[in-house]
Amino acid sequence: MLDSYLPIIVLIVIALAFAVGTIVMSHLIGHRKPSAVKLAPYECGMPLVGSARERLSIKFYIIAMLFIVFDIEAVFLYPWAVVFKRLGMFGFAEMGVFIFILLVGYVYVWKKGALEWE
């Protein structure tokens, strides 16, 4: 069974070789003349104000947390979808309950305003 993954391993090696190869090639061919200003982060041509390593708005993290919740749900859906036929009505009802519970959570999240941006 595992030997069906062999081509993928070969492909990984080729892809890595491609990625590393091109970068090394450009490293060798490209001329380099670094200077302090050139290596500074882009700030529209002005001196830096503060740094990029600051704390960010919580809202981005909420999206990430919601994603994890819903992605795990999706993970449960896949195996069910494959054996859907065999599980029949019972499996469908079970899944219906599962999705319903999730929808309740979803409505809660919506009402709480986690999906708002203002």
Q: How far is the CB of 52 from another protein (least distance, A)?
A: 5
Instruction: Name the H helices within 1-118.
Output: 6-29, 58-82, 84-112
Backbone φ and ψ of 16, nearest 5°: -60, -45
Whether the CB-CB separation of 43 and 49 falls below 8 Å is answered with yes
Q: Can you read off the two tokens belonging to residue 84?
A: 């859907």
Minimum CB separation of residue 90 from another protein in Å reads 9
Q: Which of residues 4-33 bind another protein (CB under 8 A)?
A: 4-8, 10-12, 14-16, 18-20, 22-23, 25-27, 29-33
Determine if 46 is a binding residue for another protein (CB under 8 A).
yes
Q: Does 57 bind another protein (CB under 8 A)?
A: yes
Residue 99 in contact with another protein, rule: CB under 8 A: yes
